[in-house]
Structure 1
């Protein structure tokens, strides 16, 4: 009888632990934000080799970080960002991509951000239109 009680107690502890791990899992938060078409930034800032994920307005973006030197230290100096599905970009405007750039720069202030195709061409075209001719 004592063994059954110990097993039941261990099962309850395991279920509570599993539930807490599930609720606090950042990947789950990313998926939830993606489904709700909200902004979420998922990154392991201590691991430069691991790409980060951003979801914004139902579009999932991935960013690749590159380490380099700044004046005082080694830091992330270059980031390439691309959408997972190009067809999901429908309806996005240049302000949406600028918002994502600002949010990435909050985490990596020394980085220069480059977009991969087709966002790169879209941003270049919009920046060219915003630049006054002299």
Structure 2
């Protein structure tokens, strides 16, 4: 009977260790930590088109909606709409910050056309027109 309890305790310790490692390596936890520390983090499941990706940058959380379409060779993500979860936190972000986020998304989805939702869309259009 004592041997049985020792095996149960050992199994419980192994299970708790497994849960701790799983918690530490969880990308959602890393996203939340980066968001709190106002760092950049890109959370995505590239093999699942139905799941939106999340980007945290300078304490602002952005969500990107992926849309599947056809390219010359295959079905891929061809359109992405990005919007902030809380537009009030956009204060202090510049055109270069949004271009950085856009470039990071382009690295992962090179065939996608990226469209920002308002009010970022107006800022980007105004700056792009001034540079031309």
Same-fold status (TM-score > 0.5)? yes
TM-score by length of 2: 0.96
Give the number of aligned pairs. 131
Structure 2 SS opposite 1:80: strand
Q: Which runs of 4+ in 1 moved over 2 A?
A: none
SS for the counterpart of 2:92 is coil
Structure 2: 5+ residue runs without aligned partners? none
1:58 maps to 59
Aligned to 1:45, the other structure's residue is in SS state coil
Instruction: Provide structure 1 residue ranges, at least 5 long, that are not aligned to the other structure.
Output: none
- SS of match in other structure, 1:64: strand
Per-residue Cα deviation, 1:22-64 (whole angstroms, up to 9, x for no partner): 0110001101111111111100101111100000111100000
How far, CA to CA, are the matches of 1:22 and 1:70 in structure 2? 38
TM-score normalized with structure 1 length: 0.95
- Could you say what secondary structure the match of 1:46 adopts? coil
